[in-house]
A and B are shown apart, each in its own frame.
Chain A
């Protein structure tokens, strides 16, 4: 995003004339005219991931919007139902997927419960993409380590897809993914694919023994410690429940990963999604526009308001 300019405020304020002349903001893109208005979209497919998580594949009704869509891995979008409200979700379809946008939704509150009632063909409002993606270009030539728990996988799926699609650009790719039970593992079709592939290492774990589960058992931080990945030339990216992130970050520190090597993606209550409404800030940074992707280095600067 563009940094704040440093001359007096009033003079650089945009007007409608500026906006019409195209002098708008870097991030605004096609939403520049009105970033609050959702694009009408249709649910084209629904995947039941786990008992309480569904993935919605949505397609903009306006073909031109669909064709112009481009986003970076790690960016988010607002998915909303008219009459209920909007919520922020990570875009977890691949950046190269041109047929639809995929959002995974865990049933929890008002909006997510309503989303779970949707059927194929229903209309939703979508505002996307928003926020910043992971610096995947800067990571070229490095080893990538993904550490994910539960629904945290949704925030990293697009990034995993990206690095796998550009496999030759990266060194070793390791995926550590854990969930409470085998039933709570999302994207089982991806997991099958990862386990077949020879060019990546995927470690799947569940919190405790479960009938029929023959894979690894153990909490993600414990398994990470056991795996003891080498920090040399490696980027670690983690997302999951706050308690898991906390212990994973401690574990990475113990393994000598520096703050610059460690990334996470945050979730906050959001409304506008465009850095105005004020509720998703951690100190001076807004998760919706400055994030949701942060390096540990950036997070250290901020007050303890995670």
Chain B
């Protein structure tokens, strides 16, 4: 793991000192060692703050979407994991990001740890998370510690990941990790939800969306939600989504996000991790991708040549009445 970190620093330093990028986006340690946050590095002297470990969950490609770069025409270096690279490919498919202005460092990934799962084990604050082999050690502020097996802490979409290596990268931070031979997607825990009755589903959704505060974190954290600053969720004309905050309108709010990223969203889970009230958004987005795969054999963001599913059609699409 640390050799990937060293390689990221080396590649970033080279790109910055050669003047190929204005800034380089990677990950760094947050305010204490239990957090990893996005890092924006402007000079080769600062690359030592870049880190790589299984807490580096942020999908940094969201900082490439329109109106995010500062200045707007900046040339940007960016680190991507396998899933992140798929959102980048989705952006490139529609030319929403200028290929010429980005330098992509791909980081082969062994899976990302769900920090919230650790947090829930303690009433106290977790201030340190460290990794040794497959053992994860968490320490609280009061000094209590607990060990976990890394495999138990991985995000659902990491457990079922078929693309651990970046799809699109200018340079790699390590040799590709072994990939599953069978690339048939797996859909993880959504089956449990699928099995519920309509009334049970409705109740579960109501419970989850009742707490939504409409902070737009899901939409702004999403790399492929590109009209983020002009979102119809905020519009009063059309008034597709009511501004009244209640369960139904909150679900409608999320439906806008979901249907508008269909065909571009590879279920990277950025929205889910950004949600401050922990609404299980991955359920909806993975279900959507499952159905898309079933309908069209389509997986978002796995080919630069392909168009997103809803920007094209086939005369003989195998569904609907003829």
Question: Do A and B interact?
Answer: yes
A interface residues (Cβ-Cβ under 8 A, vs B): 85, 110
3 cross-chain CB contacts under 8 A: A85-B236, A110-B236, A110-B237
Nearest-CB distance from B303 to chain A (Å)?
Answer: 42
The chain A residue sitting closest to B237, CB to CB, is A110
A85-B236 Cα distance, complex, nearest whole Å: 10
Residues of A within 8 A of B236 (CB): 85, 110
Contact flags (1/0) for B219-252 with A, using CB distance below 8 Å? 0000000000000000011000000000000000
A142-B256 Cα distance, complex, nearest whole Å: 59
The chain A residue sitting closest to B239, CB to CB, is A110
The chain A residue sitting closest to B236, CB to CB, is A110
The chain B residue sitting closest to A111, CB to CB, is B236
A85-B237 Cα distance, complex, nearest whole Å: 12
Nearest-CB distance from B107 to chain A (Å)?
Answer: 39
A110-B237 Cα distance, complex, nearest whole Å: 7
The chain B residue sitting closest to A113, CB to CB, is B237
Residues of B within 8 A of A85 (CB): 236
The count of chain B contact residues (Cβ–Cβ below 8 Å) is: 2
Residues of B within 8 A of A110 (CB): 236-237
B interface residues (Cβ-Cβ under 8 A, vs A): 236-237
Residues of A within 8 A of B237 (CB): 110
Nearest-CB distance from A115 to chain B (Å)?
Answer: 14
Nearest-CB distance from B230 to chain A (Å)?
Answer: 15
Nearest-CB distance from B55 to chain A (Å)?
Answer: 35
A110-B239 Cα distance, complex, nearest whole Å: 11
A203-B163 Cα distance, complex, nearest whole Å: 72
A110-B234 Cα distance, complex, nearest whole Å: 14
Nearest-CB distance from B241 to chain A (Å)?
Answer: 15
A85-B239 Cα distance, complex, nearest whole Å: 13
| Cβ-closest 3 pairs across A and B | A110-B237, A110-B236, A85-B236
A93-B236 Cα distance, complex, nearest whole Å: 31
The chain B residue sitting closest to A85, CB to CB, is B236
A299-B237 Cα distance, complex, nearest whole Å: 34
Nearest-CB distance from A36 to chain B (Å)?
Answer: 16
A110-B235 Cα distance, complex, nearest whole Å: 11
A295-B275 Cα distance, complex, nearest whole Å: 45
Nearest-CB distance from B166 to chain A (Å)?
Answer: 40
The chain A residue sitting closest to B235, CB to CB, is A110
A164-B236 Cα distance, complex, nearest whole Å: 42
Nearest-CB distance from B234 to chain A (Å)?
Answer: 13
Nearest-CB distance from A272 to chain B (Å)?
Answer: 15
A110-B236 Cα distance, complex, nearest whole Å: 8
Nearest-CB distance from B157 to chain A (Å)?
Answer: 38
Nearest-CB distance from A124 to chain B (Å)?
Answer: 18
A92-B236 Cα distance, complex, nearest whole Å: 28
A36-B99 Cα distance, complex, nearest whole Å: 51
Nearest-CB distance from B71 to chain A (Å)?
Answer: 17
Nearest-CB distance from B213 to chain A (Å)?
Answer: 17
Nearest-CB distance from A279 to chain B (Å)?
Answer: 13
A24-B311 Cα distance, complex, nearest whole Å: 60
A231-B237 Cα distance, complex, nearest whole Å: 47
Nearest-CB distance from B229 to chain A (Å)?
Answer: 15
A110-B238 Cα distance, complex, nearest whole Å: 10
Nearest-CB distance from B141 to chain A (Å)?
Answer: 32
Nearest-CB distance from A159 to chain B (Å)?
Answer: 33
A79-B208 Cα distance, complex, nearest whole Å: 39
The chain B residue sitting closest to A110, CB to CB, is B237
A199-B95 Cα distance, complex, nearest whole Å: 64
The chain B residue sitting closest to A109, CB to CB, is B237
Nearest-CB distance from B240 to chain A (Å)?
Answer: 14
A85-B235 Cα distance, complex, nearest whole Å: 13
A85-B243 Cα distance, complex, nearest whole Å: 13
Nearest-CB distance from A241 to chain B (Å)?
Answer: 23
A51-B236 Cα distance, complex, nearest whole Å: 26
A37-B236 Cα distance, complex, nearest whole Å: 21
Nearest-CB distance from A281 to chain B (Å)?
Answer: 20
The chain B residue sitting closest to A84, CB to CB, is B236
Nearest-CB distance from A112 to chain B (Å)?
Answer: 12
A199-B69 Cα distance, complex, nearest whole Å: 57
Nearest-CB distance from B246 to chain A (Å)?
Answer: 20
